Structure 1
């Protein structure tokens, strides 16, 4: 889906969707692939370029086996996004609801922030954009906070991440 405020296409999918999604338009998508250590790698043969990271869908850096998200994961993701320019970007994780939507939300917020948008308008527009891409998004709070803290000073990243997951339409997905 082309996102006007991003001036690029952005999509989110889950593990079973990625191979047919990429095969439908080979060589077009820059892909961020997130998986847990015990899950198989996604088939990315039709990606233009890919950045793979491995961490659990947990809310602490330690995770259940020491594999939770860490700042270095988000630093690498944001470098990849910056290097991809305005090319189509696809973010994938196992379920396509938590880690991938958090990363997509970080990309959205970073772009809106760069356009001078903040406060309640930022939260509304970021939620609108994310839910247009992935209506059942339940962004991983830690991934979101770590990503936002890469470009927003403390405590703004933490405050904004909380406001985003508490946005009523996103919050509703956590209880459904």
Structure 2
């Protein structure tokens, strides 16, 4: 069963080691430093400089763009699904859940958006996928507005209650 692990930055080393993860997508602000866990293959680490905003950017902020989504799609399609894929952002609540949905639909286009998003909500009551990433992902993956609609249907996640990695499985 394919598994995408979604984590806040503070837990990536623990999540990677515990689950034998060797591939990772990072969605972190441009000048935010962090160390890639040693178990992650440097050639299989996608590091995207993007802020957690729902607009194109400006004033020093980098908003999610189509190029970010295309990079997530390409990376996911090359993912060795024998091991989990780790996706993280600062808190594991907005950018990384959106990227996990995009990655899952990229590798399995037959997935039903409503079921996938429900699995995300069941796995993480606090997930609130970044709306701009979701919209761009819907467009890049030709989902005809279904991903946007499904994410809107689950609504905003509950208030953040701390570091809570979770698994999106299908």
Same topology, TM > 0.5:
yes
User: In the alignment, is the contact (CA less than 8 A) between 1:91 and 1:104 conserved in 2?
Assistant: yes
Change in Cα spacing, 1:148 to 1:20, as seen in structure 2 (3 Å) is same
Name the one with the larger helix percent.
1
Q: Structure 1 stretches of 5 or more lacking a match?
A: 1-6
The normalised TM-score by structure 1 is 0.77
User: In the alignment, is the contact (CA less than 8 A) between 1:12 and 1:91 conserved in 2?
Assistant: yes
User: 4+ residue runs of structure 1 moved beyond 4 angstroms?
Assistant: none
Supply the distance in 1 between the matched residues of 2:70 and 2:39 (Cα, whole angstroms).
25
- Which segment drifts farther, 10-19 or 82-91? 82-91
Cα deviation 1:119-155 (Å, max 9, x = unaligned) = xxx31x01222124333110000011112211206xx
1:1-176 counterparts in 2 under 5 A?
A: 7-26=1-20, 28-48=21-41, 49-86=44-81, 87-111=83-107, 114-115=109-110, 118=112, 122-123=113-114, 125-152=115-142, 156=144, 159-167=145-153, 170-173=154-157
The normalised TM-score by structure 2 is 0.80
CA RMSD of superposed structures (Å): 2.3
Deviation at 1:175, TM superposition (A): 7.0
Change in Cα spacing, 1:149 to 1:89, as seen in structure 2 (3 Å) is same
Change in Cα spacing, 1:66 to 1:25, as seen in structure 2 (3 Å) is closer
Supply the distance in 1 between the matched residues of 2:137 and 2:24 (Cα, whole angstroms).
17
Change in Cα spacing, 1:63 to 1:148, as seen in structure 2 (3 Å) is farther
Q: Structure 2 stretches of 5 or more lacking a match?
A: 161-170
